[in-house]
Homo-oligomer: A and B are copies of this chain.
Amino acid sequence: MQNLNRRVLLRNRPRGEPLPSDFELVEAPVPTPGAGDVLCRTIYLSLDPYMRGRMDEGRSYTGGTNPALGSVMVGGTVSEVIASRNPAFPEGTFVLGASGWQAYALSSGAGLRKLDARQAPLSTALGVLGMPGMTAYVGLRDIGRPKPGETVVVSAAAGAVGSVVGQLAKLEGCRAVGVAGSEAKCAYVVEELGFDACVNYRAEPLLPALRTACPDGIDVYFDNVGGDVLAAALRLVNLRARIPLCGLISQYNAPEPPPGPNLRPVLVNRVLVQGFIISDHLDRLDDFLRDCTQWVREGRLRYREDVVVGLERAPEAFIGLLRGRNFGKLIVKVGEDPSV
């Protein structure tokens, strides 16, 4: 056992892409566990894109406040308990925890999960059998809800989340198509992971390549990156497609939000966006007419009409409608109304 802990601190909040000088490696004494505590020796530290957000000022992604300058960088870890004053975690126990970017950390035991190295290599608890794998599993199955024969596309397909998404899609009987950033990654995704296709977004125009890879369109787009890949996938979505919005890596380093609607708040706030067209919901006609006719009669639901007289005025009225010139429901009175 070393006598010194090594820790990586957040030194500066990045503007855009982080620089090496935004981090500082320091040495400190290895702490001593108090009553109920354990001392964890870090074996593996996970690095994940979400950490970029934790370097910024303000509220974190998952609530709470981001670390202050001078704090240890946060992160998931696999550790060995090397000193224990907590009977639930005796010395020699392997644990999944959140020691962050440091070689030793104290823990009360809260939030630690024991790991069994005979079940799977310890490092998998940070990847395929850890939060990235679980993100893929829940996001695909519970939100994407793929059906056999559907096409599932995933960005960052060679990454910790994407590689699991595509394989789970294959296990569900879907066509799995990846998007990744090198030939080596695409080859890995197709040849080793068994995806049906993978598009290298750095090597070819994305939209035509994705269209070729998805001859039946896209039913589930599992998004890890946002930006151009999201824009291309949106062009190919089928009726009632599902888009689990899991990450927006392409904009994490951006000092300003991208042009157009910025979907970061959709991700961070777990927002549901649902396109809809009323003709899908005609089974609700009776409910609607019952409630709203009653409310109109009671004066609780008011309305205003903007009535243009004469069919010949329909074109100018319609052009004005698209400019927001009408005030109330725009209606053309074409003929006599004998009921009034």
Check A272/B240 contact, CB under 8 A, given A94-B339, A260-B261, A316-B20.
Answer: yes
Cross-interface CB contact of A23 among B126, B315, B329, cutoff 8 Å? B315
* Contacts A6-B312, A133-B292, A266-B237 given; does A44 touch B332 at CB 8 Å: yes
Q: For A307, list chain B residues within 8 Å (CB).
A: 44, 123
Across the interface, do B158 and A321 meet the contact criterion of CB distance under 8 Å? no
- Residues on B with C-beta less than 8 A from A23 are 314-315
CB contacts under 8 Å to B, within A259-296, are 259-263, 265-281, 284-285, 287-289, 291-293, 295-296
Given A120-B297, A127-B329, is A280 in contact with B285 using a C-beta cutoff of 8 Å? no
Residue of B nearest to A1 (CB): B335
In the complex, the chain B residue whose C-beta lies closest to that of A185 is B327
Interface mask (A317-340 → B, CB under 8 Å = 1, otherwise 0): 111011110111111111111111
27 pairs of residues in contact across A and B, judged by CB atoms under 8 Å: A20-B315, A23-B315, A41-B335, A44-B333, A47-B314, A47-B317, A47-B326, A47-B331, A48-B330, A62-B277, A120-B296, A123-B337, A127-B331, A129-B289, A167-B301, A167-B302, A168-B301, A171-B295, A237-B271, A240-B270, A243-B271, A243-B272, A244-B274, A249-B322, A260-B260, A267-B275, A267-B277
- Residue A35 interfacial (CB < 8 Å): no
Q: Is there a chain B Cβ closer than 8 Å to A209's Cβ?
A: no
Report the Cα distance A182→B126, complex, angstroms. Answer: 54
Question: From residue A301, how far is it (CB to closest CB) to chain B in Å?
Answer: 5
Q: Is the CB of A44 within 8 A of B8?
A: no
A284 pairs with B339, CB closer than 8 A? no
| Contact (A273, B270) CB under 8 Å given A235-B265, A263-B261 | no
Copy total for this chain: 2
Contacting residues, chain B, for A270 (C-beta < 8 A): 239-240, 274-277, 280
Interface centre among A117, A142, A192, A269 (most CB of B within 10 A): A269
Other A-B contacts than A73-B314, A128-B329, 13 sampled, CB-CB below 8 A, are: A8-B312, A44-B331, A47-B326, A124-B296, A127-B328, A127-B329, A156-B324, A158-B327, A188-B327, A192-B304, A243-B266, A266-B273, A272-B273
